[in-house]
């Protein structure tokens, strides 16, 4: 199947009892057994649920993987990956990443004796200097949040295989429509399903997709033992959202390109971060591993004044000021005080995340209205 067909059909079958074309919401906590241990494949809903099973199969197919596992949030999925490790193990991570990921790494897992190195991964060769016998995981985002840096998944995959280190990629910004890290050498793909996959700002969920059978067993054990599983209603909503993922992403990409071009040509804008520009440091890599460049954009207004950024954020109408991203509606955010507030200011500024930086999630509205909205807000500074 090609991608659009997978999005609609993979993992989904008509309900055998009724013929319902939509996967039912199996709103149950438990399942009746004929005799202890004799059942129809389902015992307890934390462990298995038919609605969740359909979604997990669908997500695995979209990422060209064998196994999908869903969690109650993206951070729940990240938590499960780090729980594969032991005290004394080390992790190499991108230094520009979602603030919640940084927080769970440093505020939760460092207390249990796991060491994290936050480094630039734009040059994959730089990773080897941090690898030692304790290194067990490389964690990367691409594009990164919010600086839109690009890391070469295939080259990092080679480094990870050479040293027998697990390699996980947060593919939330790109989605499986734009890139498939498992095909390029990653062992684990993680998604904040909340974002583009669900696509309608109405549910919170995370997912992991893997190929290795033993790794899938380990993660499924953690999923069940620790219990961060999503409910069937949320799984139903995500299955419904995914059916339009391909056409939504096409529009996100089209609108994103036009908004990025508007911003970079605007006299009041200093910097625009978007991997589709030929001037982007790793544009060549983005072009190689992505099918398009997405709808996420960050920018800084000339003068780098926080008050100017706040004025723009407070005066847009179609770009709603809110946490999150990837919905059909356009959102704007202020990473320094919202999504990345948990990262110390000095660490943020090392990667260019200044207090005046604005992050846009460009939606699927008519792009002329979005550009007009940005224009009128920028006129106020």
Positions annotated as catalytic residues are 46, 98, 170, 195
Q: Quick one: how many helices (H) and strands (E) in the chain?
A: 13, 12
Distance CA 219, CA 81 (A): 7
> What does the alpha-carbon distance between residue 191 and residue 156 come to, in Å, rounded to a whole number?
19
Give the up-direction half-sphere exposure of residue 250: CA atoms within 13 A in the CB hemisphere: 5
- Residue 68's DSSP bridge partners are 209
Helix ranges, 106-244 (H): 153-162, 175-178, 213-226, 232-242
Q: Cβ distance 29 to 44 under 8 Å?
A: yes
Helix 232-242 vs helix 50-62: crossing angle, to nearest 10: 30
- Residue 69: which H helix or E strand, with range? strand 67-71
Q: Is-contact 317 373, C-beta < 8 A? A: yes
The DSSP letter of residue 106 is I
Q: In what order do the strands lie in the sheet with 67-71?
A: 67-71, 206-210, 188-192, 166-170, 135-141, 90-94, 115-119
């Amino acid at each position: 199947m090609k991608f659009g067909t997978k999005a609609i059909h993979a993992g989904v079958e008509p309900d055998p009892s009724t013929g319902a074309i939509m996967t039912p919401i199996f709103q149950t906590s438990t399942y009746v057994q004929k005799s202890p241990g004799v059942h129809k494949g389902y015992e307890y809903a934390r462990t298995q649920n038919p609605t969740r099973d359909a979604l997990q199969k669908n997500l695995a197919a979209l990422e060209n993987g064998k196994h999908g596992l869903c969690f109650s949030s993206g951070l729940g999925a990240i938590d499960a990956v780090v729980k594969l490790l032991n005290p004394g193990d080390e992790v190499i991570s991108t230094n520009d990443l979602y603030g919640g990921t940084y927080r769970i790494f440093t505020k939760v897992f460092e207390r249990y004796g796991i060491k994290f190195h936050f480094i630039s991964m734009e040059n994959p060769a730089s990773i080897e200097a941090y690898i030692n016998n304790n290194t067990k995981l490389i964690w990367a985002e691409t594009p990164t949040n919010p600086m839109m840096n690009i890391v070469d998944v295939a080259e990092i995959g080679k480094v990870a295989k050479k040293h027998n280190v697990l390699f996980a990629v947060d593919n939330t910004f790109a989605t499986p429509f734009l890139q498939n890290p498992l095909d390029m050498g990653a062992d684990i793909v993680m998604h904040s399903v909340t974002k583009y996959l669900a696509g309608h700002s109405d549910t919170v969920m995370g997912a992991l997709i893997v190929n290795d059978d033993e790794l899938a067993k380990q993660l499924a054990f953690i999923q069940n033992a620790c219990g961060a599983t999503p409910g069937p209603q949320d799984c139903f909503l995500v299955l419904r959202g995914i059916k339009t993922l391909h056409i939504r992403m096409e529009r996100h990409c089209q609108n994103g390109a036009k908004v990025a071009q508007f911003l970079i040509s605007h006299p009041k804008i200093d910097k625009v971060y978007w991997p589709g520009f030929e001037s982007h440091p790793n544009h060549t890599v983005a072009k190689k591993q992505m099918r398009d460049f997405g709808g996420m954009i960050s920018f800084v207004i000339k003068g780098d004044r926080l008050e100017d950024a706040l004025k723009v954020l407070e005066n847009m109408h179609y770009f709603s000021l809110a946490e999150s991203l990837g919905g059909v509606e356009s959102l704007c955010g202020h990473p320094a005080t919202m999504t990345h507030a948990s990262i110390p200011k000095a660490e943020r500024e090392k990667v260019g995340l200044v207090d005046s930086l604005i992050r846009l999630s460009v939606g699927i509205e008519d792009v002329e209205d979005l550009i007009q909205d940005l224009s009128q807000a920028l006129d106020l500074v």
